[in-house]
Amino acid sequence: MATTGHPCVDFRVTDSHTDPGPDSDEVHTERLIRLRGTQFAHRHTADYPAPGKLPVLDNGFVTFGSLNNVRKLSAGTIRTWARIMESVPRSRLFLQSKLFADPGTVGYFRGAFGVLGIDPGRVTMKGHVHSGAHMLSYGEIDIALDPFPYNGGATTCDALWMSVPVVSLAGKRSVFRMGVSILSALGRSEWIASTEDEYVAIATRLATETSELAQTRRRLRSQVSDSPLADVAGFASHFGSAIKDMVSSEMMEPLRFRA
């Protein structure tokens, strides 16, 4: 999701949401090949569980969550999530990653949220589980929060497939714009924030709209299924055409000086 900086690599496949030009072109040694729509296509197998009931309806409080790799949870991410929890009284945060099996990691994050004024008891941290149980964990979450500056990719697609809305912050670098690409392909640009303040505002607004969340829970999977995110065959066709273009004599000609 970034330039290799290596002269032997001629092309990098991306899309116009993840790498809008011309600024992106200027920081890559490769020539950027932008696929139509999005570079993401996510195949969901038949054994994925059906979306569960919206947790807030039984719990009486909103649960935010993330199943992203714990290494993506930057200081800025933690600070912003704490602001969201402060804005939504009685809300909870559910985090799942294999590193949460380590007591030291759990202690670190409890301390990080505690320093920001969040009662550690409001944050649940769960270690890695097998794939089936992993997907069931989305049944614990009302609203998913995308980390930054390294956004989720497959994890965001999984959340959406489980009918959980995802709030994402858009930055300038490729890894900071994966959420933009995925949510734009789904037609859910209203879940994309351009600033941390807007990120907090979007998450807070969603948390107050229980009826909207319930409707999203019922309909989001079918929306994903009908979107470019689930069009694996279309993606393969477009990707194949892009590969053919890359190796055509017309495109390779300006690159021969590297040989």
- Mean pLDDT across the chain, nearest whole number? 91
Strands across the sheet containing 192-193: 123-126, 92-96, 63-66, 143-145, 166-169, 192-193
What are the beta bridge partners of residue 93?
64, 123
State how many domains the chain has.
2
- Name residues of the chain where pLDDT drops below 70: 1, 249-259
What pLDDT does 253 receive?
Answer: 57
For the domain that residue 160 is a member of, what is the CATH number? 3.40.50.2000
Residue 148: which domain range? 55-228
Q: How far apart are CA 191 and CA 183, in angstroms?
A: 7
In a domain, 192, yes or no: yes
In a domain, 4, yes or no: no
Containing 198, the helix (H) or strand (E) segment is: helix 196-208
What pLDDT does 252 receive?
Answer: 59
What pLDDT does 179 receive?
Answer: 96
What pLDDT does 255 receive?
Answer: 52
56-78 pLDDT, tens digit per residue, is 999 999 999 999 999 999 999 99
Residues 64 and 168 in one domain: yes
In a domain, 206, yes or no: yes
Q: What is the pTM of this model?
A: 0.89
